[in-house]
Chains A and B, each alone.
Chain A
Amino acid sequence: MSEKASQTQGAKTGDLEETERVDAGPMRGPMGGGQVGQKANTFGPSVKRLLARMRPERHRAYAVLGLTILSVLANAFGPKILGRATDLIFSGLIGGKLGQMLPQASTKAEAVRALRAGGDTKFADLVSGMDVVPGQGVDFDAVGQVLLLILGIYVAAALLSWLAGYFLNDVVQRTVFRMRSDVEDKVNRLPLGYFDKQPRGELLSRVTNDIDNVSQSLQQTMSQLLTSLLTVVAVLSMMFWISPLLALVALVSVPISIAITGAVMKRSQGMFVQQWRCTGTLNAHIEETFSGHALVKVFGRQAESERVFAEQNDELYQASYGAQFVSGLIMPIMMFVGNLNYVVIAVLGGVRVASGNLSLGDVQAFIQYSRQFTQPLTQVASMVNLLQSGVASAERVFELLDAPEEAPEEQGSPAAAADAHGEVRFEDVSFSYDPERPLIQGLSLVAEPGHTVAIVGPTGAGKTTMVNLVMRFYDPQSGRILIDGVDIAAIPRGVLRSRIGMVLQDTWLFAGTIRDNIAYGRPDASEAEILEAARATFVDRFVHSLPDGYDTLIDEDGSNLSAGERQLITIARAFLVDPALLILDEATSSVDTRTELLLQQAMAALRSDRTSFVIAHRLSTIRDADLILVMEDGSIVEQGSHEELLAVEGAYARLYRSQFDAPEDQPG
């Protein structure tokens, strides 16, 4: 299950995984402060690998680095130079004042001496530390020059940091683009076994949530982390340059901020856990009630359901406002620490200016610095969290990218693909999904061209596995499968599959119109061909009662069609492709028997010159097959026609007598 907050979904959200995702979504705000799920296992190497993925953009990345350093430096020098302007003004002011008080003094030294003689030692101290000429007012030429300089610096800084952001954005977006492409590529190259083994929700979460998370955290951390870290260093240097004493005082606020943030985070952690727990419970109730909507109503449980909801909703409220409050404290507290810092600097700096040890402009610069200093510190703290969650997601994506791929195609003989009649031969085939539990062992069979071969047997007998092998979704561990005498391992997968029409029990349809779904295997099919396929497979019969006929959109979870209707559409899809070999794996299990029979008659034409494999629980489906294979535990225990097998009075006869339907204890 996903460990991160979920995205806003588009208007149409689909399948179960979607709701799982919702379920997992903690309330995470920009200041949420809550830790986001698991920490990265191997932080360092993963960060390196993530950075390595930016290699194709390295020139831009270096440019970003250079531009950022320059802009941070420029911004850092600003206040210091600005302070000089203040000093010039202040000096002019004091100079003017001295000129009035002591008209005879023409130099600073004279003025100071005169002041001390007059007993005004305090003022003398102040003046002694300043660059002042008695009687001379503010030198606006000098002030103007300083201000022009700083104007230039600021404009340059802004341009530099804009360029840095501009290029950084390109770097990040292109990197994420490549990552998405690579993942999609990978999905196409993974063996089917990978999809069957992984919990689906997990896999989906990797390719969607995790990539989104990488994208977001890269975008946010890359620019801010770099700028913030550099700013802290630059500003600190400037502060030490101006006044080591004040800098040390300001530095005290760093451990205080870290300690407070840490303490608050620690407290909020527990509360967030509680909040997520409540969210989970409530969401589960919501999901259940909405999914079982009809039952809740008809069984008159609406009131009860609402009572439970109100209770859980209130619990969530109790848990969440506490969590939000505690985590919301960080900002005011950091502001308070900043203010304390400000007060201390104002007082201490004031005393030092008064005693002539520091200029007023420097104090002003210092105040500006100390504000610039605490802000990036808090940012770095929150960035670290974000970065960790991003790297954890990146690791999960890397895991996917590192998964072993399907064995490469042998550059086999595509000639084998040519016009085939579809003799299928299994020669001593063995296969198992799990080495511990052998499934198919030494299976041999021959399906004559044009014949219909039915496979029956209990769940877990290996029927669907045979389909998987013929389609080369899996390759046998030993033995071979031949189509018209050619080992399918030598036929490129695409060529092989394009000659086989497959209809599965799992009726996967994509989000689109019914028409598009029918035409999936042959996007170039004409309208007439699509309609013909739809009529032959009885899709046409129910389509017209749907809101938009063939243009009716199928939801991602297909909730607007019944299982039988979905199956008919998947059959129409295979029908349209007109394949050489037909595989029907429980293709009509949800279709009523009469429609099934009509369907079979319609398909008879389609099947007449083709080999078909039919897997079915319902024995009525396969009664007319040329050959019936009865499978148990991975091997064929009986074979023959319906009548022959009944006469044998063996497994098939038992199965037949227990009547059409399946062993009922088939989970799922």
Chain B
Amino acid sequence: MLLRLVRTYLRPYARPLAAIVVLQFIGTMAALYLPSLNADIIDKGIVTGDTGYIMRTGAIMLAVSFVQISCSIAAVWFSSRNAMGFGRDVRAAIFQRVGTFSAREVQHFGAPSLITRETNDVQQVQMLVLLGGTLMVTAPIMMIGGILMAAREDIGLSWLVVVVVPVLAVSIGLIVRKMVPYFRVMQVKIDEVNRLLREQITGVRVVRAFVQEDHEAARFRDANAELTEVAVRAGRWQAGLFPTVLLVANLATVGVLWFGGHRVESGAMEVGSLTAYITYLMQIVMSVMMAAFMLMMIPRATVCADRIVEVLDAETSVTPPLDPVTELPERTALLLEGVTFSYPGAEVPVLREVSFEARPGQTVAIVGSTGAGKSTLVNLVPRLFDATGGSVRVGGVDVRDLAPEVLWSRIGLVPQKAFLFRGTVADNLRYGKADATTDEMWRALEIAQARDFVEAMDGGLEAGISQGGSDLSGGQRQRMAIARAVIRQPAIYLFDDSFSALDLTTDAKLRAALRPVTREATVVIVAQRVSTIRDADLIVVLEDGAIVGAGTHDELLHSCSTYQEIVQSQLTAEEVA
């Protein structure tokens, strides 16, 4: 997954990537050239006592150092740009993909999880790509270059390098392989320990009320002990890593002096090469270390990449039609025919064979118990979900055949949770209608009974709204959300329990103000309060996902026992009578 993600999204950066490789190659070779020049100082300068040669070679070394740093800096520049560009592109891809999701996929992943994937997980992978450009590219170059340069100094001793590198790689590999699974488990355990602590804090009242402190403490103790156990094991292996690398490197140095010494004695090798060899070995060891460091980052990035790819690969359950209908009449009826909805794996469907029609100018109310499927029903109209059976028709066309933009442009949705966007009051209204004038805005606010409090807000239409609208009361948020729908002048209004936080007087005023505006429109209201829906043209009573009654208030009072119970539960005896 990680590889696939990186390969796909690094493709546009092939050229800078090539530049990085070239630059790092030159830089690394320059770094490797230094010990060789040093060897020359020893062999040609020191041994012959030629101070001038020493100085001249020193100057060359200086120049080589400059080449090296120039290349390195350029490489860092390109890799920063690449990695950050990669991150930007992946973020954009996820954002677009989530944009295609239906409510079902969002529910499946959970909005918080999607947010984490889009932010945190992308960052992790991006970091790997960044280090990849600096460390992952240099490590092999350094390794191969070091071997070549060492061989150039003295081919006879290069077997030593050929032995050392694999020995080092294998020993690091063994330790890392032992360590990595522990680190994986450790991350899971950390999350678990943190989750338990979080629950203890957010649920402190419940924990104490049910006297479950000991139970919670025991759960935590176990999780904490498990975490520590894993961390200790992982840490013990990790503790061995650096000493092992150092030991192998040091043993190799000793080997250079012993075997090299004999070659110097026999005249096959110059004494300066000994020093150069030792330096090369150190550089090679360093590069193997860097590679190991990268390897340790990979597991964590892999988990993140998996989570990202999971989102990118998720198909929306609500696919736009291939040959969409883009024409709809001005006034559109809403027709549900045998609509069934059920979650995969559920025993019982949420909605069963629901049929009713709402014509333009009509108000249809939906009432029923908690969990009866009212919200689900509303969400089927704008295709936040797709029905698993039957059809939902708008203006005679199945919503699944309509171009989504056309469908949505006809709908004014007021969701159960009155979510507002960060910005101003006006920004939120423009959400409903992008080119709304000030007059239109005030008009919509007035209908929604929101004019008074908006006027009282500092700045009026330009007053700030925080994310989600958390600085407004529940009732104010609902009225803002209603204004946002009203300003669209849609053909179909969907009010999903949108009056619950309003007091009766406001509720009544609002409905009265809505009446003239919605005269031509189709209105669907989900509500709890009988007073809210009493005057509806059609009241649909849902029970366990099926219709148990449909008709006007008066009809249902006589014919539908569920409806009677609902009414009974709200009005005093004398009011019913």
Contacts and interface: CB of A to CB of B under 8 A. Distances in A.
Asked whether A and B interact, the reply is yes
Nearest to A160: B243
Given A339-B34, A494-B211, A328 B236 contact: no
B208 A15 contact: no
B569 A8 contact: no
A545 B432 contact: no
A18 B265 contact: no
A154 B254 contact: yes
B371 A185 contact: no
Nearest to B373: A545
Given A301-B431, A367-B38, A187 B235 contact: no
B85 interface: yes
Interface in B249-304: 250-251, 253-254, 257-258, 260-262, 264-265, 271, 274-275, 278-279, 282, 300, 303-304
B41 to A, nearest CB: 5
Nearest to B199: A510
Interface stretch (A243-251, A319-327, A481-489): A319-327
A502 interface: yes
Nearest to B194: A208
B39 to A, nearest CB: 10
The secondary-structure label for the interface of chain A is helix
8 contacts: A7-B194, A140-B262, A158-B247, A187-B197, A298-B413, A328-B80, A363-B42, A664-B474
A398 interface: no
A596 to B, nearest CB: 7
A240 interface: no
Contacts of A157: 243, 246-247, 250
Interface stretch (B87-95, B143-151, B323-331, B353-361): B87-95
Contacts of A310: 92
A325 B80 contact: yes
Interface residues of A, number: 199
B371 A541 contact: yes
Contacts of B31: 335, 339
Nearest to B245: A158
Given A11-B113, A556-B195, A317 B370 contact: no
B569 A620 contact: yes
Closest 3 CB pairs of A and B: A165-B239, A122-B49, A542-B371
B559 interface: no
A90 interface: yes
Given A27-B126, A200-B201, A594-B568, 5 more contacts: A207-B194, A304-B434, A339-B65, A354-B49, A562-B370
A331 interface: yes
A610 B234 CA distance: 55
Interface in B200-248: 200-206, 208-213, 215-217, 220-221, 224-225, 227-228, 231-232, 235-236, 238-240, 242-244, 246-247
A620 to B, nearest CB: 6
Given A169-B232, A174-B228, A313 B120 contact: no
A1 interface: no
Contacts of A23: 119
B127 A592 contact: no
B54 A347 contact: yes
A232 B512 CA distance: 82
Given A169-B232, A360-B42, A508-B205, A284 B422 contact: yes
Interface stretch (B97-105, B439-447, B515-523): B97-105
Contacts of B476: 664-665
A85 B55 CA distance: 27
B254 A288 contact: no
A368 interface: yes
Interface stretch (A105-113, A144-152, A633-641): A144-152
B119 A22 contact: yes
Contacts of A620: 569-570
Interface string A646-668: 00000000000011111111111
A295 B346 contact: no
Contacts of A328: 76, 79-80, 130, 134
B570 to A, nearest CB: 5
Interface in A264-307: 279, 282-284, 286-302, 304-306
B191 interface: yes
Contacts of B217: 184-185, 188
A644 interface: no
Contact of A500 (B54, B209, B545): B209
Contact of A354 (B45, B77, B195, B238): B45
Given A504-B206, A545-B349, A13 B201 contact: no
A155 to B, nearest CB: 7
Contacts of B262: 138, 140
Interface in A5-36: 6-19, 22-23, 25, 27, 29-30
Contact of B200 (A184, A305, A342): A184
B54 A8 contact: no
Pick from B343, B421, B476 the residue with the most CB of A within 10 Å: B421
Given A10-B187, A367-B38, A140 B261 contact: yes
Contact of A10 (B192, B224, B500, B569): B192
B275 A367 contact: yes
B232 A329 contact: no
Contacts of A122: 48-50
A471 to B, nearest CB: 6
A559 B96 contact: no
A346 interface: yes
B80 A299 contact: no
Contact of A666 (B244, B246, B282, B474): B474
Given A471-B208, A594-B565, A287 B83 contact: no
Contacts of B432: 299
Contacts of A9: 113, 116, 120, 191
Pick from B51, B68, B84, B242 the residue with the most CB of A within 10 Å: B84
Interface in A518-567: 520-521, 523, 538, 541-542, 544-549, 555-557, 559-560, 562, 564-565
Interface stretch (A175-183, A438-446, A449-457): A175-183
B509 interface: no
Interface stretch (B4-12, B386-394, B403-411): B403-411
A511 interface: yes
B46 interface: yes
Contacts of A598: 565
A71 B239 CA distance: 14
Nearest to B501: A664
A665 B503 CA distance: 9
Interface in A165-214: 165-166, 168-170, 172-174, 176-177, 180-181, 183-185, 187-188, 192, 195, 200, 203-204, 207-208, 212
A364 B201 CA distance: 61
A161 interface: yes
B152 interface: no
Given A89-B261, A287-B115, A339-B65, A546 B346 contact: yes
A165 B238 contact: yes
A188 B213 contact: yes
Contact of A329 (B65, B76, B500): B76
A162 B243 contact: yes
Contacts of A279: 119
Pick from B228, B379, B470 the residue with the most CB of A within 10 Å: B228
Given A10-B187, A545-B343, A658-B503, A207 B265 contact: no
Contacts of B431: 295, 299, 301
B472 interface: yes
Contacts of A292: 419, 421
Contact of B112 (A494, A557, A590): A557
A173 B231 contact: yes
A261 interface: no
Contact of B212 (A322, A504, A521, A564): A521
B206 A508 contact: yes
A291 B208 contact: no
Nearest to B369: A595
A379 to B, nearest CB: 12
